[in-house]
Amino acid sequence: MTEMVYGSMPSRVSEPVLPRWWRTIDKWSMSCVMVLFGIGLLLGLAASVPLATRNGLDPFYYVQRQAFFGGLGIVAMLGVSMMSPYTVRRVGVVGFVLAMVALCLLPVFGTDFGKGAVRWFSFGFASFQPSEFLKPGFIVVCAWMMAASFDLNGPPGKLVSFLLSFAVVMILAMQPDFGQAALVLFGWGVMYFVAGAPMMLIAGIIGIVTVGGFLAYESSEHFARRIDGFMTPDIDPRTQLGYATNAIQEGGFFGVGVGEGQVKWSLPDAHTDFIIAVAAEEYGLILVLVIIALYTTVVVRSLFRLMKERDPFIRLAGTGLACIFGVQAMINMGVAVRLLPSKGMTLPFVSYGGSSVIAAGITAGALLAMTRARPQGTMGDIFQRRGR
């Protein structure tokens, strides 16, 4: 009777989560990440066996751990990519707070594993590096603050994000971890630029960074040693940079052959910071170009998809996540070919590491969540409507 009087109300049929996720996700970027992880396992089979042998472990001990932690990273990526951008924002805020607390506890409970920088918590069976998980949370929090500043009578989000980035950089520099500090500052700078920062202000920030680098060189022996090693015209063949440079030269275009490389027996970090040297020696320039193309595809496709995004938070967060993902890879490879001073930074999804690969999965998942297709039209449509 009610339907006869008032008419029937059609029920909304919501699309299931998985089909909607598969329809809207950037499948090319996700596939590139999967291929990078596969390449990491392939290189791990070559690079980590000598280390396991030296430590008296099973030859494939580190490969098995890489597969386990990498699997967790892929699961994290897929899980985060299914979230809405605002769920990612909530998770990112909580993750950032927890990572900041962990960073503050490092001077008391952390260890340096003999590398001169207190960056890890050691649990015996595994280690944990808080700065890896700080990066995606920091980007999400700063994007939220900057986006809030666009609202009418909104908070001074840009200023607050600047103060927050300054605090984070200072904490990381105290470890010292100048590589992660520079990466965090770069991610914030890109978002600040996209948010419409004045060029004079950006120039002033660059000047502050330059002065900060000079002071760090004067006050930190760890930082000064790495800069001096980078500036020295002659490379000591017995150093990690010397071994890596020689391996890249020996590899040539096609490489010396699978399993025939020698750098993995000399480099203590061949499976982590200098994994690209193993790739260049055994597989040659071809595989290195493939790896570069995969990272480039993820970053460029993400930025193009974000150009169509109306929501300032999604646009800023996605841009920051894409840039730190790509720049971390660039820094790692730049160190191996001596274009940059040694940073102690892993190659996302390719280098061995528990914290790094899981954090990379979270970063990639958040980026995929931000770049999912949404029914909003293009930026050109907005300009056309404003002109009417």
Task: Return the structure tokens found at 283.
Answer: 């597989």
Amino acid at 22: W
Q: What is the total count of domains within the chain?
A: 1
Domain assignment present for residue 9? The answer is no
- Are the C-beta atoms of 157 and 149 separated by less than 8 Å? yes
Q: How far apart are CA 388 and CA 380, in angstroms?
A: 13
Query: Which residue is it, tokens 């001077």?
Result: 107
Domain assignment present for residue 379? The answer is no
- For residue 230, what pLDDT is reported? 61
Name the pLDDT band for 211 (thresholds 50, 70, 90): confident
- Are the C-beta atoms of 66 and 126 separated by less than 8 Å? no
Strands (DSSP E) along the chain, which ranges?
Answer: 121-122, 127-128
Query: 322, 95, 87: which is closest to 191 by C-alpha?
Result: 322
Domain assignment present for residue 269? The answer is yes
Q: How far apart are CA 339 and CA 53, in angstroms?
A: 32
- For residue 379, what pLDDT is reported? 47
Average pLDDT, the chain: 84
Domain assignment present for residue 11? The answer is no
Name the pLDDT band for 224 (thresholds 50, 70, 90): low
Domain assignment present for residue 13? The answer is no
Residue 321 or residue 220, greater confidence: 321
Average pLDDT over residues 78-89: 95
Task: Return the structure tokens found at 233.
Answer: 């015209």
Cβ contacts of 308 within 8 Å, gap of 6 or more: 376, 377, 378, 379
Which helix or strand (DSSP H or E) is residue 136 part of?
helix 130-148
Mind giving me the DSSP string for 10-78? PPP-PPPHHHHHHHHS-HHHHHHHHHHHHHHHHHHHHHSHHHHHHTT--TTHHHHHHHHHHHHHHHHHH
Residue 298 or residue 7, greater confidence: 298
- For residue 236, what pLDDT is reported? 58
Q: How far apart are CA 11 and CA 20, in angstroms?
A: 19
Q: Point out the least confidently predicted range of 84-88, 139-143, 268-272, 278-282.
A: 268-272
Domain assignment present for residue 167? The answer is yes
Amino acid at 309: E
Q: What does the DSSP 8-state code read for residue 344?
A: -
Name the pLDDT band for 124 (thresholds 50, 70, 90): confident
Tens-place pLDDT, residues 4-56: 444 544 445 567 888 899 999 999 999 999 999 999 999 988 888 888 888 88
To the nearest 10 degrees (0 to 180), the angle between helices 275-306 and 354-370 is: 20
Give the domain range for residue 136: 24-372
Which helix or strand (DSSP H or E) is residue 101 part of?
helix 85-109
Three-class DSSP category at 202:
helix
Average pLDDT over residues 297-305: 96
pTM for the model stands at 0.87
- Are the C-beta atoms of 52 and 270 separated by less than 8 Å? no
Q: What percent of the chain has pLDDT over 70?
A: 86
Domain assignment present for residue 324? The answer is yes
- Are the C-beta atoms of 135 and 101 separated by less than 8 Å? no
Residue 353 or residue 215, greater confidence: 353
Domain assignment present for residue 303? The answer is yes
